[in-house]
């Protein structure tokens, strides 16, 4: 792998404050999104594999991506520790060929803060890589009303802390912390 740097790209920080270290394969839909800037792979945010070649993420993270050549954007699937070279999950890096923001995304207020990234090929499925399961359309939203949600990601672990190299998660009753965008909010 190439050297990685954690530079701000005029996007909010991504952090799981007080989260716990997860373990390989716990969240097999987690995607780490990278930009290649002058030969250095830089982690920018998380996302979720939601179909064979589709990653769901936050639109505000990919605003900078839309102004770059697509060959500078990649997704890593099956990764647990972003700095570890020898993981049993054999993380797979795949180039992004297209990015689509929600047509009504509003950068000022973050309305419709959704984007889909389309991968150049289908990743191999394994215990470490599989799409996120969504409930069937017949399930009513009220079913989830009082459940604790789980957030997951590789972001900062404290307001002043550095980015975590290992995947972390945390259960929340209300909402995600400021900056927990891009990755999934799961029930």
Assigned domain for 33 exists: yes
Judge whether 3 lies within some domain.
no
Tell me if 67 is assigned to some domain: yes
How confident is the prediction for the chain on average, in pLDDT? 82
pTM: 0.83
More confident residue, 177 or 23: 23
Do residues 185 and 151 make contact, with C-beta atoms less than 8 angstroms apart?
Answer: yes
Chain centre distance of CA 183? 4
Q: DSSP 3-state assignment of 176?
A: coil
Domain span including residue 112: 20-179
Distance CA 185, CA 187 (A): 7
Q: Tell whether 186 is covered by a domain.
A: no
Is the pLDDT at 52 greater than 60, yes or no? yes
Assigned domain for 8 exists:
no
Q: 4-8, 67-71, 121-125 — which is least confidently predicted?
A: 4-8
Task: Kindly state whether residue 185 falls inside one of the protein's structural domains.
Answer: no
| Count of domains observed in the chain | 1
pLDDT tens for 77-113 read 999 999 998 888 999 999 999 999 999 998 888 889 9
- Structure-block tokens of residue 151: 């957030």
Contacts of 137 by beta carbon, 8 Å cutoff, 6+ apart: none
Predicted local distance difference test score (pLDDT) of residue 6: 40
Is 44 buried (19+), middle (13-18) or exposed (0-12) by CB count in 10 A? buried
Burial class (CB in 10 A: 0-12, 13-18, 19+), 163: middle
| Cα–Cα distance list, 22 to 11, 19, 100, 112, 154 (Å) | 25, 9, 30, 29, 10
pLDDT, tens digit, 9 for 90 and up, residues 128-157: 999 998 888 899 888 888 888 888 888 777
- 143 three-state secondary structure: helix
Q: What is the CATH number of the domain that holds 68?
A: 2.40.10.10
**Is 130 part of a structural domain of the chain?**
yes
Distance, in Å, from the CA atom of 97 to the CA atom of 142, rounded to the nearest integer, reads 37
Q: What is the DSSP letter of 33?
A: E
**In-domain check, residue 2:** no
Distance separating alpha carbons of residues 30 and 86, to the nearest angstrom: 18
Beta bridge partners of 64: none
């Amino acid at each position: 792998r190439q050297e990685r740097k954690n530079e701000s790209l005029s996007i909010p920080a991504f952090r799981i404050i007080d989260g716990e270290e997860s373990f390989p394969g716990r969240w097999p839909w987690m995607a780490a999104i990278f930009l290649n800037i002058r030969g250095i792979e830089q982690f920018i945010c998380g996302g979720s594999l939601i179909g064979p070649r589709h990653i769901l993420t936050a639109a505000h993270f990919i605003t900078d991506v839309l102004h770059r050549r697509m060959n500078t954007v990649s997704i890593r699937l099956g990764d647990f520790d972003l700095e570890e070279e020898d993981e049993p999950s054999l993380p797979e890096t795949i180039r992004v060929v297209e990015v689509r923001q929600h047509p009504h995304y509003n950068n000022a207020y973050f309305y419709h803060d959704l984007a889909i990234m389309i991968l150049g090929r289908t990743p191999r499925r394994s215990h470490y890589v599989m799409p996120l399961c969504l409930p069937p359309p017949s399930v009513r939203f009220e079913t989830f009303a009082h459940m604790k949600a789980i957030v997951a990601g590789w972001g900062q672990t404290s307001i002043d802390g550095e980015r975590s190299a290992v995947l972390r998660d945390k259960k929340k009753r209300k909402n995600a912390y400021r900056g927990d965008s891009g990755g999934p909010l799961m029930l």
